[in-house]
Amino acid sequence: MNIKNSITLPNAPTTARTIPLKSDSHFSGHLVVQTGGSNGTGWEREQVMEVESHLEMNLALILTMRPQVAELENQVLFKWWCPHKKALKCHFFDFRVNLADGSRVAVMVKDSRKLSCPKFCAEARSIATKVTPAFADDVVVMTEADVDPVEIHNATFLDSLKETDPEADAAARRAMRGRLGARSISDIVTDVGLPGRGFRAVGRLLRRGELALTKIERITPEALVCRACA
């Protein structure tokens, strides 16, 4: 076996500034994200993303798993001209969300306590007024209030499904072929006949957008899924 030809490393981080991954005062780390998996066209190459807070990590997982998100950039540099100082000013947005419809949203990630700070709110509003459509169509602040327990649970599970298993995936598709209504995941797994692999296969079909949850709930064996609308 030629190991060199069997391993594909993820793309290196593309941040506009270096994130120190060692700190004695706050969380820092990295994750490997994989966007493009929910559009039904196959898996995109994995991307290393560095984060400097646990909140950033959770939001990165949530955003990359949303079907309307085509790409997630982090630590994106925005520059604008300040006539008073006659110099360029800059701000690093924690994320820039590129949506499937072509629009883009610049995201500041902050603890919700910052929203009660007049100085921060004034600075954030000032920066937002400088952002042009060439950089982003909207500017938002995301906090821990945007981390829904159900969504982060599902996003964490779906993010873990980076391995491929064509046999199990094909069996899960067959179990739902021609079905007009909903089925529990456990029923599908029973039909597939591969307990652990079958559950992960259903997860991959959810991630690719081939299946959908019938309501907002945690992905468990009891959850109901249906074929996604074309």
Q: Which is higher by pLDDT, 199 or 32? A: 199
Instruction: Give the position of tokens 């991959």.
Output: 204
Answer whether 61's CB lies under 8 Å from 159's CB: yes
**pLDDT score for 179:** 86
**pLDDT score for 39:** 46
- Burial (CB < 10 A; 0-12, 13-18, 19+), residue 165, is middle
Q: Map out the domains of the chain with their CATH numbers.
A: 9-151 (3.40.1350.10), 163-227 (1.10.10)
C-alpha to C-alpha distance for 207 and 65, rounded to whole angstroms:
7
- What's the pLDDT band for 6 if we cut at 50, 70, 90? low
C-alpha to C-alpha distance for 108 and 59, rounded to whole angstroms:
11
Question: pTM for the full model?
Answer: 0.86
Answer whether 207's CB lies under 8 Å from 199's CB: no
C-alpha to C-alpha distance for 152 and 138, rounded to whole angstroms:
24
Torsion of CA 21, 24, 25, 28, to 10 degrees: 20
Number of neighbours of residue 190 by Cβ within 10 angstroms: 14
Pairing of strands 211-213, 183-184: unpaired
- pLDDT digit string (tens) for 90-134? 999 999 999 999 999 999 999 999 999 999 999 999 999 999 999
Number of neighbours of residue 119 by Cβ within 10 angstroms: 8
Q: What is the mean pLDDT of residues 207-226?
A: 95
Helix (H, G, I), strand (E, B) or coil at 211: strand
**pLDDT score for 38:** 46
- What's the pLDDT band for 183 if we cut at 50, 70, 90? very high
Phi first, then psi: what are they for 166, rounded to 5°?
-55, -35
Pairing of strands 29-33, 47-51: antiparallel
- pLDDT digit string (tens) for 166-176? 999 999 999 99
**pLDDT score for 41:** 44
C-alpha to C-alpha distance for 180 and 160, rounded to whole angstroms:
29
Q: Best-predicted range by mean pLDDT among 48-57, 77-86, 134-143, 173-182?
A: 134-143
C-alpha to C-alpha distance for 49 and 106, rounded to whole angstroms:
16
**pLDDT score for 40:** 42
C-alpha to C-alpha distance for 92 and 106, rounded to whole angstroms:
10
Residue 189 has pLDDT above 70, yes or no: yes
C-alpha to C-alpha distance for 67 and 169, rounded to whole angstroms:
19
Number of neighbours of residue 212 by Cβ within 10 angstroms: 16
Answer whether 69's CB lies under 8 Å from 54's CB: no
Q: Best-predicted range by mean pLDDT among 16-20, 31-35, 42-46, 160-164?
A: 160-164
Mean pLDDT, the chain, integer: 87
Give residue 139's Cα distance to chain centre.
Answer: 18
